[in-house]
Every structure is written in C-alpha cells, then in structure tokens.
C-alpha cells in the first residue's frame, strides 16, 4: 500500500508527455500535495516529471487492458482515486478532403474512444468507492470529498474553423459525451468537469502529424498551405494570446481542488473571441472565421 496520507488526494492523469498540458497539470497538482499517477504511452516520454509526489505509468488509452490495468494498480496501492483527468489526445490540422479514413480513425481512437475507455475503467471503481466511503457525500465531512472526473476538451468543440475540422469534430463529440456524463454521474455521487482550453502553449503540434505534415499531390488546397500552417501553430504564439501551460495548469488545479468544482471551465488564448462569436448568428460567425483563417497576412513572429 502507499505511504500517502488520508488527507492527500490521489490523482490519475492520462497524456502526460513532457511539454504538454498533462505534464503541467501533474507537476502543479504534485506541488499542491496530491499524489499524482501520471501516464503516457511510454514512461521515457515523462522525464521532466521528477517531483516526489509523482508516480509514472505506461498507459495506452487505445487499449482496454492498458487503461484498466493502470486504474487497478492505483486502487491496489492507494485504495482510492479522488481525481481522474482524461487528457490524452492528438491533433490534426488538414483540410477535410485531404484526411484519410485511417487518419480519422486514429484521431477518434485516441480523442473519443480513449476517453470512453478511461470512463469505463474509472467511473465504476469511483462508484464502488462512494459505496464504501459514504462520508464523501456528507456536508459535515472535512477530510473527504466527492470523486471528480475531469475531461480536457477544446474550445474548437464550440465553434468550427477551417483546417481543423476533424479535430474539432472529435472534441465536439467529447463535449456532448461529457455533458451527458455529468448528468448520468449525478446519482452516482461523482462530479464531472469539462475543461475547454483555448490557445495554450503545449506540444500538441509536435507529434508525428506535425513533423510529417504535407498535403497530397492532388490536394485542392495547395494555395492555402500558409494559412493551414498558421492555424497549426497559432495556439503556440504569445502574439495571439497563447497562455503558458503552467499558468493554465495552476488555474485549472485551483478549480479541481475547490470545494465545489465547476462543470465547465473555459481558459486560454482566444477564449473571449470564440465565446463572443457564439452570440452572433451562426452563419455570420462562420463567415468571419473563414475570412480570417483563409486570408490572413503572414509575418514572422
């Protein structure tokens, strides 16, 4: 069993590769006293997670057995899980006509079905935990709290934009799934929080799909490559209001550890603009987005 104190929250996070949102959340929560089980497909991709409160796990969210084994290991060692953060995800910036079915399946396998696998592995165990520890539902309790399941989505789930349509569609599915999960977890005594980041400085565009980026020879969008590349990296530029990943992690961690965690958190660069656009007639908003993202003037930053 773990040497963690009863007052310490036990946290499990997927997608904690160095340089990403997951890694920033892991370090921030560990510094706040939580015992954090950080996971990634390879432990070697988490070299920056050196805090004493961090335990590293190799987890592939595209495999049922992998995610279930990790959750069971946490319960065997800790006897509980207070917070689970489903953060694992991949990006894809490409015109819809240039995306292969295989690429689409790969994206959804991680972003959507990976979330579902995490939910299936975690929620039933958290429910059992509630049955064996009913004081977590008591308003008089000062040492226990309701389990919390956190989903990291994207602001792109709320407003479509060119070149990231498939990624946005996967996050729209995540949003709808999570909102329903929030309702269905109410009778189980489990809180569910959806976090929709805006522009956050992270490693989401540093994977295979970014380094091997290209358009097919017969692509109808060759003339738009500058706009497409700009879209891919705009979230990493402070010029466009990108928020540092550790600033993001600090603010989200405060929400996670609060007495009454909110159901929805929007945070990051361009959030204000995206929310404002939602107040406009949909066709107007989409027209503005298209004009902005297909005909920007590009300058070096």
φ, ψ (nearest 5 deg) of residue 286 = -65, -35
Q: Specify the pTM.
A: 0.90
What is the pLDDT at residue 113? 99
State how far the Cα of 212 lies from the Cα of 193, in Å rounded to an integer: 34
Angle at 148 between CA 14 and CA 73, to 5 degrees: 50
Handedness of CA 33, 73, 245, 160 (dihedral sign): negative
Q: Are 82 and 147 in contact (CB under 8 A)?
A: yes
pLDDT of residue 208: 42
Q: H-helix or E-strand containing 30?
A: helix 21-31
Sorted by where each begins, the domain ranges of the chain are 10-294
Torsion angle of the four alpha carbons 56, 61, 66, 68, in this order, in degrees rounded to the nearest 10: 100
pLDDT at 143: 42
Query: Rounded to an integer, what distance in angstroms lies between the CA atom of residue 5 and that of residue 72?
Result: 19
pLDDT value at position 299? 38
In angstroms, the CA 85 to CA 149 distance is 6
Give the tens place of pLDDT for each residue, 112-127.
999 999 999 999 999 9
Structure tokens at 29: 């929560």
Euclidean distance between CA atoms 149 and 82, whole angstroms: 8
- Residue stretches of the chain with pLDDT short of 70: 1-4, 130-144, 203-213, 235, 238-240, 296-301
In 148-261, alpha helices (H):
165-184, 208-211, 225-233, 245-256
CA gap 149, 245 in Å, rounded: 20
pLDDT score recorded for residue 233: 76
Are the CB atoms for 196 and 266 separated by under 8 Å?
A: yes
pLDDT of residue 301: 37
Assign domain 10-294 to a CATH class.
Answer: alpha beta
């Amino acid at each position: 069993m773990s040497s963690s104190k009863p007052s310490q929250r036990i946290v499990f996070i997927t997608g904690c590769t160095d340089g990403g949102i997951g890694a920033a959340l892991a370090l921030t929560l560990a510094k706040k006293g939580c015992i954090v089980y950080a996971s990634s497909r390879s432990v070697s991709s988490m070299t920056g997670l050196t805090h004493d409160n961090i335990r590293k796990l190799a987890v592939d969210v595209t495999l049922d057995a992998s995610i279930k084994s990790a959750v069971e290991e946490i319960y065997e060692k800790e006897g509980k899980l207070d917070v689970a953060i489903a953060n694992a995800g991949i990006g894809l910036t490409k015109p819809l006509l240039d995306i292969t079915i295989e690429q689409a399946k790969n994206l959804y396998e991680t972003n959507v079905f990976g979330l579902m696998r995490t939910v299936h592995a975690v929620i039933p165990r958290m429910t059992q935990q509630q049955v064996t520890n009913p004081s977590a539902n008591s308003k008089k309790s000062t040492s226990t709290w309701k389990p919390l399941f956190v989903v990291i989505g994207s602001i792109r789930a709320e407003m479509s934009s060119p070149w990231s349509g498939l990624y946005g569609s996967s996050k729209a599915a995540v949003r709808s799934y999570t909102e329903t999960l929030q309702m269905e977890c109410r009778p189980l005594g489990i809180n569910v929080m959806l976090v929709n980041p805006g522009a956050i400085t992270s490693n989401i565009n540093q994977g295979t799909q970014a380094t091997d980026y290209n358009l097919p020879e017969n692509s109808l969008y060759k003339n738009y490559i500058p706009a497409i590349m700009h879209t891919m990296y705009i979230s990493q530029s402070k010029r466009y209001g990108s928020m540092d990943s550790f600033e993001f992690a600090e603010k989200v961690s405060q929400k996670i550890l609060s007495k009454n965690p909110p159901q929805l958190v929007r945070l990051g660069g361009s959030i204000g603009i995206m929310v404002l656009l939602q107040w406009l007639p949909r066709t107007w908003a989409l027209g503005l987005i298209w004009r902005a993202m297909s005909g920007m003037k590009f300058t070096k930053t």
